[in-house]
Amino acid sequence: MKSYGQLELDRVARRWRITQLAPHVAIAFKRMFPRVPVTSIEIGISDTDEVRADLHWFMSRYPLDHDEWDELDAAVDRLAYRAAERERILLPTWRPGELQGFKEGKAAYLYQTQAAKIAVANGGMLLGDDVGLGKTISAIAALLFGAPMPAAIVVQPHLAGQWKKRIEEFSSLRVHIIKGRTPYDLPEADVYIFKYSNAAGWVDIIKEGPFRSVIYDEIQELRHGRGTAKGEAATVLSNRADFRMGLTATPVYNYGDEMHAVMEFVKPDLLGDWSEFIREWCSSGRIVGNPDGLGSYLRDTGYFLRRTEDDPTVDASMPPPNILEWEIDHDLAAVEGEQEIARQLAQTVLRGSFAEAGRAARELDMKMRQLTGIAKARAVAAYVSLLLKDSPRVLLAGWHREVYDIWREALAPFNPVLYTGSESAAGKQRSVDAFCGGDSRVMMMSLRSGAGLDGLQYHCNDAVVGELDWSPQVHYQFFGRLRRPGQEKQVNAHYLHTNWGSDPVLLEMLGIKADQSRGINDPGIAPKPRMTDESRLKLLAQHVLSSA
C-alpha cells in the first residue's frame, strides 16, 4: 500500500509526530487539524483519543507508515463505547436501577444520577449544569458510584463547611476539612476538602499521590490556568488523580479562552496545548471565533455536560422563574457635589491621552456605579419593604459598602444581615443562619460573593438586584441561589434600575459578554442583538456628559 508519510507516537511527551508528508497531503492534514501551524514541516500534535480517532480516519484516505494500529483501534473503540453509553444514559426513559451509598431518605434526582454515571464512565467531566440544579449532589453521587477514593474536593473558602454538611447529610462518607496551609498528619477519611486558598501549601503532600479523585467546585476559580499558586496546586492534583471533575454553571466569565484553562484540569490536552487551542479556536487574541463550534465539540467529546431547567429530566423538579424589571426613582441630592468629579473623569476618558484615559475610565466606572447605587438606594429599600408585606424574606444584591449602609438603616425593622466579601467564613455562616432561621428577613449579598451557597431556597423565593453588574452571568448566578432543587415556589427575579447614572449604559451592555458564554454553554441558540464590548466605558462617559 502506498504511504504518504511517517507517523510516530512519543509516549513520554504524549505527542504524535508526523514527518515526510507529501506536499498535498500536508495541506490536507493541516486543513483537517487546524491546531497545527500552517508553516510546520515536521508536525507535532497532542495525543488524545479524539486525535487518535481522527488520525485513524485520515489514514483511511492517506496511509502513513507506523506501528500504532493497536493504539489507534483501541481509541476508536473507546470513543464509540463512551458515546453509546452516554446516549443510553441520557435517554429520558433510562433508569439507573438500585443505587447504593445514599442514606435512607436521600437520593439524587435522575438528571444528577445521569451526570454521575457518565462522569465515572469517562474518568471525569466538566459539569456545567445551570445554576441551581444541584451539581454538588451530582458530585457526591459520582463518589458513591465508583470514583476512586480517597478524594480531594477543592472549594471556595466559605463553602468548606457547607460541602462537609451536604456530604454527611446524603452519605456515610468520612469527611475531613483541611485546616491551614501547613501540612499535618491527616486522619483517615474518604473525602478531604481543600480550599482554593490553602491547597498550594499542601503541594508536597499532593505529589505523594494520596488523592485518587479530585473535584473542583466553582472551577472557574482556575480560569487563569497554572500561573497562580492555586492553579499550580490544582495541576499537581489533576496529574496525580485517576478521576477529575469540575463543577460550574459559568466556566467562561469573560472570553472563551478561559475554557482551555478550565478543561486542562479536567481532561488535559483535550483541546490541545495552549498554542494549539489558540490556532484552532481563537480568531483574535482571547476571543473564541466560533463559540458554538467549541461548545458543540466539547459536548460531543462527552467531557462537558450541561443541562438547563428546560431539559426534560430537569423540568419536572424546577418551577419556572419570573423575571421582573422595574424602573425606580433616584435622589440626586444624595450624591450632591460628586457629579462634577464624574464629569471631569468622563471628559478625560474621551479626550485624554491613552494612559490618562485608561486611568480615568477605571475611576469613572467605580465612581458612577457607586453614585448610581447611592442615588437609588432608598428607592430600592422602599421596594424591598413593600415586597416584605407578602414575602417572608428577600435576598438583596448590591456592590458598595455605602449602599449597604443606607439599606441597613432603611430596612432596620427587618434586621438585615450581610453576606459580602468582607465577612469571615464564620460571619457569613452566622448571616445564613439568621436569615434561614427567621431572625433576619433580608440578606444583603454582594453579587460576586454567593457562589456555591446552598440552602436559601428552602426559605426565600424573592431575589432583588439593587445594583447592576457588567456581567449577566453574575446576575444569573445570584438568582440561582434560590432557583435550585428544594425550591417549591416560583422564584421572582427583580431587576431594579433607574434612568440616571450608570444604569442606562449597564442595561444596554448586559448582553455583550453573554455571547462568549452562550455559544460554549448553549451552542446553536441564536445570540441576542448586542453591541461590542470595547467601548462600554466610553459609552458611560458619553452618557455622563450628555446628562450634565
Helices 354-387, 536-546: crossing angle, 10 deg rounding: 70
255, 516 contact by CB (below 8 A)? yes
Q: Which residue is it, cell 424602573?
A: 327
Residue ending a domain, among 315, 345, 373, is 315
With respect to residue 100, please indicate whether it lies within any of the assigned structural domains. Answer: no
Name the band, by pLDDT with cuts 50, 70 and 90, for residue 36.
Answer: very high
Strands 175-177 and 191-195: parallel
With respect to residue 404, please indicate whether it lies within any of the assigned structural domains. Answer: yes
Residues 300, 328 share a domain = no
For residues 268 and 271, give the distance between their C-alpha atoms in angstroms, rounded to a whole number: 8
Higher pLDDT, 318 or 265: 265
pLDDT tens digit sequence for 196-224? 999 999 999 999 989 999 999 999 999 99
For residues 56 and 42, give the distance between their C-alpha atoms in angstroms, rounded to a whole number: 19
Whether the pLDDT of residue 93 is over 80: the answer is yes
- In this structure, what DSSP letter does residue 35 have? T
For residues 145 and 131, give the distance between their C-alpha atoms in angstroms, rounded to a whole number: 23
Name the band, by pLDDT with cuts 50, 70 and 90, for residue 179.
Answer: very high
Residue 533: its pLDDT value, please? 42
Residue 517: its pLDDT value, please? 60
Whether the pLDDT of residue 544 is over 70: the answer is no
Residue 105: its pLDDT value, please? 86
The CATH number of residue 435's host domain is 3.40.50.300
Cell of 340: 462634577
Residues 349, 311 share a domain = no
For residues 6 and 514, give the distance between their C-alpha atoms in angstroms, rounded to a whole number: 44
For residues 303 and 516, give the distance between their C-alpha atoms in angstroms, rounded to a whole number: 19
Helices 69-89, 49-58: crossing angle, 10 deg rounding: 120
Residues 275, 250 share a domain = yes
Continuous segment of H or E residues that includes residue 179? none
Look at residue 209 and give its three-state secondary structure: coil
Question: DSSP for 308-373?
Answer: -TTSHHHHTTSPPPEEEEEE----GGGGTTTHHHHHHHHHHHHHS-HHHHHHHHHHHHHHHHHHHH
Q: Which residue is it, cell 445551570?
A: 130
Strands 151-155 and 213-217: parallel
Specify the number of domains making up the chain. Answer: 3
Residue 334: its pLDDT value, please? 84
Residue numbers of the domain that contains 511: 322-546
Residue 360: its pLDDT value, please? 65
Name the band, by pLDDT with cuts 50, 70 and 90, for residue 531.
Answer: very low
Whether the pLDDT of residue 478 is over 70: the answer is yes
Residues 504, 383 share a domain = yes
Nearest to 269 by CA among 246, 240, 292, 239: 239
What pTM was estimated for this model as a whole? 0.66
Type of residue numbered 458? Y
For residues 349 and 294, give the distance between their C-alpha atoms in angstroms, rounded to a whole number: 36
Residues whose CB falls within 8 Å of the CB of residue 431, separated by 6 or more in sequence, listed in order: 417, 418, 419, 423, 440, 443
Strands 287-288 and 175-177: unpaired
With respect to residue 81, please indicate whether it lies within any of the assigned structural domains. Answer: no
Residues 538, 392 share a domain = yes
Residues 275, 178 share a domain = yes
Residue 175 CB neighbours (<10 A)? 19
Residues 452, 353 share a domain = yes
Residue 519: its pLDDT value, please? 59
With respect to residue 494, please indicate whether it lies within any of the assigned structural domains. Answer: yes
Whether the pLDDT of residue 369 is over 60: the answer is yes
Whether the pLDDT of residue 286 is over 60: the answer is yes
Q: Is 172 exposed, middle or buried (0-12, 13-18, 19+ CB in 10 A)?
A: exposed
Mean pLDDT of the chain: 87
Look at residue 464 and give its three-state secondary structure: strand
Residue 11: its pLDDT value, please? 94
Residue 457 CB neighbours (<10 A)? 21
Ranges 266-280, 447-461, 496-510, most confident: 266-280
Give the end-to-end CA distance of the chain in Å, rounded to a whole number.
79
Residue 534: its pLDDT value, please? 43
- Name the percent of the chain lying above pLDDT 70: 87
For residues 505 and 536, give the distance between their C-alpha atoms in angstroms, rounded to a whole number: 8
Residues 286, 235 share a domain = yes
Name the band, by pLDDT with cuts 50, 70 and 90, for residue 422.
Answer: confident
Residue 449: its pLDDT value, please? 82
Mean pLDDT of 252-279: 92
Residues whose CB falls within 8 Å of the CB of residue 258, separated by 6 or more in sequence, listed in order: 220, 223, 224, 251, 252
With respect to residue 131, please indicate whether it lies within any of the assigned structural domains. Answer: yes
Residue 335: its pLDDT value, please? 79
For residues 277 and 337, give the distance between their C-alpha atoms in angstroms, rounded to a whole number: 50
Residue ending a domain, among 315, 336, 354, is 315
Mean pLDDT of 407-419: 97
Cell of 271: 483541546
Whether the pLDDT of residue 116 is over 70: the answer is yes
The CATH number of residue 206's host domain is 3.40.50.10810
Residues 162, 65 share a domain = no
Look at residue 72 and give its three-state secondary structure: helix
Continuous segment of H or E residues that includes residue 442? strand 442-446
- In this structure, what DSSP letter does residue 149 have? S
Whether the pLDDT of residue 427 is over 50: the answer is yes
With respect to residue 90, please indicate whether it lies within any of the assigned structural domains. Answer: no
- Name the percent of the chain lying above pLDDT 90: 63
Residue 285: its pLDDT value, please? 77
Residues 334, 190 share a domain = no
For residues 252 and 399, give the distance between their C-alpha atoms in angstroms, rounded to a whole number: 21
Look at residue 535 and give its three-state secondary structure: coil
With respect to residue 398, please indicate whether it lies within any of the assigned structural domains. Answer: yes
404, 398 contact by CB (below 8 A)? yes
Residue 313: its pLDDT value, please? 83
Residues 304, 328 share a domain = no
Residues 180, 52 share a domain = no
Nearest to 266 by CA among 220, 208, 202, 297: 220
Nearest to 21 by CA among 29, 9, 32, 31: 29
Q: Is 443 exposed, middle or buried (0-12, 13-18, 19+ CB in 10 A)?
A: buried
Residue 512: its pLDDT value, please? 38
With respect to residue 87, please indicate whether it lies within any of the assigned structural domains. Answer: no
Whether the pLDDT of residue 69 is over 90: the answer is yes
Residue ending a domain, among 274, 292, 315, is 315
Residue 534 CB neighbours (<10 A)? 8
Residues whose CB falls within 8 Å of the CB of residue 309, separated by 6 or more in sequence, listed in order: 130, 132, 133, 315, 318, 320, 321, 483
Residue 536: its pLDDT value, please? 53
